[in-house]
Amino acid sequence: MRSIQEIVARRRRQDRWFAVLGVFCTSIGIITLIALLANLLIDGLGHLDWQFLTSFASRRASSAGVLAAVVGSLLVMLVTACVAAPLGIAAGVWLEEYAPKNRVATILEVNIANLAGVPSVIYGLMALSVFVYAFGFGHSILTAALTLAVLILPIVIVATREALRTIPRTIREASYALGATKWETVWHHLLPYSLGGIATGVIIGLSRAIGETAPLVTIGALAFIAFLPDPPVTGEFPFVSFSWLGSDFTVLPIQMFNWVSRPDPAFHHNAAATGVLLIAITLGMNAIAIFVRYRMRKAIQW
């Protein structure tokens, strides 16, 4: 009898120890995240002022700012979203709703899973050869945006498919029963109902794109840009101009990489301030994505 009680006690002890170990390991991750945020805030928050946000890059750390990088990041993200969202959603819809269940669909599926795992720097190499040289787009905003759009395409496709998969079959059957064509079913029912999941995927993809550095270094993005691209709105007819698409650019992560690679510690503070901006943007976008997903899960109950 005693030995059984001993075994039971020992096993309870094992369980308690493992629970402690689990909490410890989980907190390593959480504590690192907090340490990283605290480190950036301590190093960078003092430099993050209006002057920093409205100045161009400079040889002197104290007068350097991120204006060109902020504008560059916004413009690149805008074009990336305009390319990746329609293309990714369309591909996701086809794969989930239209694709015949045969080898072609399997190949496409394996292919997308692989694309999601290709290192981002490889996308940069592809863009350098195709967009920069073969298409002649140069080191422009357009090249950067296309590169990042290709990079986040798998994220958008997978999110679209998962959102569509949660819609019950009965919704589709009901639509067909009323005489709707497949496209009408997709456009009037499936897309509106899956909008939350799709939006989440697009936001997550963009938050990934805004922090990407390696592929943009590869296509030759410059860190020292002391001008803004041409404005998209002009005073004379036709009032909109797309010449900014071909402009040289820099973005926040490139600027941060440039500053962190310099030996002078004064520039490290600038890098930290840029890092605070980047983290605020990416974590903010992730928070929005989590919020959207949560709201949608509550709003729609089949």
Q: Which of residues 82-101 bind another protein (CB under 8 A)?
A: 86-88, 90-91, 93-95, 98-99
DSSP 135: S
Work out which of 153, 163, 202, 203 binds another protein, going by CB under 8 A: 153
Per the CB < 8 A criterion, the answer to whether 57 and 65 are in contact is yes
Nearer to another protein, 167 or 256 (CB): 256
DSSP H helices in the chain: 2-44, 50-53, 67-93, 103-117, 120-127, 141-165, 169-177, 182-185, 191-211, 214-218, 252-260, 265-299
**Part of the chain binding another protein (CB under 8 A), chosen from 45-53, 72-80, 147-155, 170-178:** 147-155
Tokens of 233: 């709105």
Token digits for 230? 């041409």
Residue type for 161, please?
Answer: R
- The four Cα atoms 79, 152, 261, 63 give a dihedral, to 10 degrees, of 30
From candidates 78, 195, 286, 288, binder to another protein by CB under 8 A: 286
Residue 150 within binding range of another protein, rule CB under 8 A: yes
Amino acid in the structure at residue 262: R
**CB 216 → another protein: shortest distance, Å?**
9
Please say which residue, 115 or 195, places its beta carbon nearer to another protein: 115
Considering the complex, state which of residue 87 and residue 300 has its C-beta at the smaller distance from another protein: 87
Which is nearest to 200 in space by CA: 155, 243, 264? 155
Per-residue contact string for residues 242-261; x = within reach of another protein by CB under 8 A:
-----------x--xx--xx
Q: Contact between 220 and another protein (CB under 8 A)?
A: yes
Does residue 35 interact with another protein by CB under 8 A?
Answer: yes
Shortest distance, position 241 Cβ to another protein, whole Å: 28
Give the list of residues 6+ apart from residue 67 with CB closer than 8 angstroms, or none. 53, 54, 55, 56, 228
Q: Is 189 in the site for another protein (CB under 8 A)?
A: no
Under rule CB under 8 A, residue 155 binds another protein: no
Site for another protein in 100-129 (CB under 8 A): 107-108, 110-115, 117-126, 128-129
